[in-house]
A and B are shown apart, each in its own frame.
Chain A
Amino acid sequence: MFLKTVLQELRHSQRILIRGLSTKPSWDIITGVCVERLPVVTPPLNAMQKKYKEMLYTIEVENSLKSDHELRHDNDKIKAELLKNESADIDLDVVSKITAQDFEDAAAEEFANFKFADLVTEADKTGNKASIERCLQRHLVLVTSLKLGKDTKTILPQGKWQEGETLRQTAERILSEHCGSDLKVQFLSNAPCGFYKYKYPSEIEGKIGAKVFFYYANYKSGGVSEKVKANWLTRTELIETLPDKYRKSVEEFLINEPY
């Protein structure tokens, strides 16, 4: 306990020391926003999960009691037997009823006729990365192309922090500036989730570089305004598009895709 408090004190004093030593903030403070669309559809089961699910299902059936439908099916069978033998005087009314088998067939037909929405959406077919209706089983991250200095880069939307704002407010402002106010997201914290630092090729207004604080948000509704060149990328596409070092900082705070 004592040791812990001492350690905390040490850490605190170290921080103060660092703050004291560093002369004037010579870095730009920049907020980046990582908007992620969570998977809409559950990812497919892998081989192990499939096998285990199958086993659980058979055990479940073994331990279960017969359902109403199964009882009805059994009754129908007995009645059919009797009818074949013509041994007993059977009420024709009872026999001519819909049997359980008929019901099952009708249900199967209805099921076959029902058209589920396609997992591969229109955007997947055309390879449209700007649409949010793509790769329904995967996490998608919003990236935009930004002009940094001379060259344009494809990175998470970002912008400079302004005096008088909290970083969270900056993040919200930047997102609406970049993507339009139609895009609704849910920020998950007041605290940044990741950090990235880069130096400018030459000093700009006395700043030697930028410190980027990432904020994480989940996509809720709406879309990015069409004027902006924005893409929703899967994890593998992120690896391909983001600059190398930048990518590492972003990957630090994203969860791994299970498949």
Chain B
Amino acid sequence: MFNWSVLKQLSRLSICAAAKAQVNTRLISTNTTLQFKMTEPLCAEPLKKKKKMDPAIIKAREDRRRKKLEKQIRRLQKNARQLKSIDEMEVPLHILDEMGKRKRPPVKLSSEVMEARALLQKEWTQYKREEYMNSVAQIDRIMAAQRRALDKLYEESEELYDEAIMPDLSLIPYSVRGPVATPPIKDYASPDGEFIDVSKKWDN
């Protein structure tokens, strides 16, 4: 009786159900069947109901955030105008304290010395002027020599001239060292001078 009903159920699933009265005996189980259905598995959590917020609160929150940012920006801008102090440019306090001690006795220069100095200054300006005029003349001379060379090159070949007047970009950046006060000593290992080690130690 019972088995018959199960058979009936299963027979609905078979493709050529109604025609076959004879059912494969293997499908018939001897156990009791479970009389409940499983729910279909859901692959996602059901959506939560969206909380409705008061638009006024949202606006207030937004405002607060904006104000906070503005304040920060203002603070930064205010500080930008303040220049950072350079330690080396400030006179150390202990020197300011010892100012009285550090002043040299004022020197009184005789009129002859003053005169000699003024004269030397004048001589020096003349000397420098001459030097300047000389260097200007030199630069003129060198530039004229180059101009002449370029003109002659143009007469010879226009292509070469065009190549010659191209700027040499490999010269940028250009750096040059020397001359120095004393000749260099070969393989000289310069000793460290006096120094204060301020590097931090991080090991325990």
Contacts and interface: CB of A to CB of B under 8 A. Distances in A.
A243 interface: no
B179 A38 contact: yes
Interface stretch (B8-16, B38-46, B69-77, B119-127): B119-127
Interface string A59-74: 1001011100001001
B124 A42 contact: no
B183 A191 contact: no
Interface in B152-167: 152-158, 160, 163-167
Contacts of A166: 160, 163-164
A167 B146 CA distance: 14
A9 to B, nearest CB: 15
Interface string A74-105: 10000000000000000000000000000000
Interface string A227-259: 000000000000000000000010011011000
B124 A52 contact: yes
A253 B117 CA distance: 38
A207 interface: no
A136 B156 CA distance: 39
Interface in B99-144: 99, 101-104, 107, 117, 120, 123-124, 127, 134, 138, 141-142, 144
Count chain B CB atoms within 10 A of each CB in A166, A191, A194, A195 and give the residue with the most.
A191
Q: How large is the interface on B (under 10, 10 to 19, 20 to 34, 35 or more residues)?
A: 35 or more
A255 B139 CA distance: 8
A78 B200 CA distance: 40
28 contacts: A15-B151, A25-B157, A29-B156, A29-B160, A41-B180, A41-B182, A62-B104, A65-B103, A66-B103, A71-B101, A74-B101, A116-B185, A117-B182, A168-B164, A187-B168, A190-B167, A191-B164, A192-B146, A193-B145, A193-B149, A195-B152, A197-B152, A213-B152, A214-B149, A252-B145, A253-B142, A253-B145, A255-B138
Interface of B: 95, 98-99, 101-104, 107, 117, 120, 123-124, 127, 134, 138, 141-142, 144-146, 148-158, 160, 163-168, 171, 176, 178-186
